[in-house]
Amino acid sequence: MKMYPEHLMNNWVSVTPVEEMAKTEYDVLIIGTGAGGGAVTWRLCEQWGKSNKKIGVVETGDFLLPTQAANIPTMTSKREEKYHETIAKPLGETLPDFRGAKQVFAFGGRTLFWNTVSPRLNAFEISNWPVPFQEIEFYYNTAERVMNVTKQYTEGSSFTDIMLKRLHKNGYYEASATPLAAKLCPTLYGHKGSDVFFSSVSFFAEALNHRAVDLAVKTRAVQLLVHKDRVTGVQVISSEKKAYLIKAKKIVVSASTFETPRLLLHSGIKGRAIGHYLMNHSYVKASGKVSRREFPEVLGALGILIPSTLEKPYQIQLRGPDGYFWHHPYEVQPLTKELEIDFLCFGEVEPRFANKVTLDTNRKDEFGVPEISVDFSFSEKDQAIIRQIAAAVKQISLSCGIKLNSDFQASSVCLMPPGDLNHDSGTCRMGEDPSTSVVNKYGEVHGVKGLYIADNSVLPSIGAANLTLTTAALAIRTADYIISQE
Ligand SMILES: Cc1cc2nc3c(=O)[nH]c(=O)nc-3n(C[C@H](O)[C@H](O)[C@H](O)COP(=O)(O)OP(=O)(O)OC[C@H]3O[C@@H](n4cnc5c(N)ncnc54)[C@H](O)[C@@H]3O)c2cc1C
273 and 359, same domain (yes or no):
yes
The finding on whether 465 has its CB within 6 A of some atom of ligand 1 is: no
89 and 137, same domain (yes or no):
yes
The finding on whether 34 has its CB within 6 A of some atom of ligand 1 is: yes
**Structural domains of the chain, count:** 2
342 and 393, same domain (yes or no):
yes
DSSP 8-state secondary structure symbol assigned to residue 129? S
Helix (H, G, I), strand (E, B) or coil at 365: coil
Query: What does the pLDDT profile of the chain (486 residues) look like in tens digits?
Result: 667 776 666 678 999 999 999 999 999 999 999 999 999 999 999 999 989 999 999 999 999 999 999 999 888 888 899 999 999 998 866 788 888 899 999 999 999 999 999 999 999 999 999 999 999 999 999 999 999 999 999 999 999 999 999 999 999 999 999 999 999 988 888 888 778 999 999 999 999 999 999 999 999 999 999 999 999 999 999 999 999 999 999 999 999 999 999 999 999 999 999 999 999 999 999 999 999 999 998 899 999 999 999 999 999 999 999 877 765 667 777 788 999 999 999 999 999 999 999 999 999 999 999 999 999 999 999 999 999 999 999 999 999 999 998 766 545 568 888 888 899 999 999 999 999 999 999 999 999 999 999 999 999 999 999 999 999 999 999 999 999 998
Q: What was the pLDDT predicted at 64?
A: 94
The finding on whether 154 has its CB within 6 A of some atom of ligand 1 is: no
Half-sphere exposure of 329 (CA within 13 A, CB side): 9
The finding on whether 144 has its CB within 6 A of some atom of ligand 1 is: no
Task: Point out the ligand 1 atom lying closest to the alpha carbon of residue 84.
Answer: 1
203 and 310, same domain (yes or no):
no
The finding on whether 418 has its CB within 6 A of some atom of ligand 1 is: no
C-beta of residue 179 within 8 angstroms of C-beta of residue 304: no
Domain limits for position 396: 152-179+282-347+379-417
128 and 115, same domain (yes or no):
yes
444 and 390, same domain (yes or no):
no
Q: Is residue 55 part of a domain?
A: yes
pLDDT digits (tens, 9 = 90+) for 248-275: 999 999 999 999 999 999 999 999 999 9
Longest Cα separation, the chain:
71
Which residues are CB-neighbours of 137 under 8 A, at least 6 positions away? none
231 and 276, same domain (yes or no):
yes
225 and 275, same domain (yes or no):
yes
Centre of ligand 1 from the C-alpha of residue 444, in Å: 20
Provide the terminal-to-terminal Cα distance of the chain, rounded to the nearest Å: 53
C-beta of residue 254 within 8 angstroms of C-beta of residue 437: no
- Is cis: bond before 321, omega within 30 of 0? yes
2 and 52, same domain (yes or no):
yes
Mutate to test the pocket of ligand 1, among 120, 121, 237, 256 (most ligand atoms within 8 A of CB): 256
Q: Is residue 338 part of a domain?
A: yes
Q: What was the pLDDT predicted at 418?
A: 87
141 and 231, same domain (yes or no):
yes
C-beta of residue 61 within 8 angstroms of C-beta of residue 13: no
- In the chain, the amino acid numbered 336 is T
Q: Is residue 185 part of a domain?
A: no
205 and 342, same domain (yes or no):
no
The finding on whether 468 has its CB within 6 A of some atom of ligand 1 is: yes
* CATH number, position 261: 3.50.50.60
The protein residue with its alpha carbon nearest to ligand 1, atom 14, reads 114
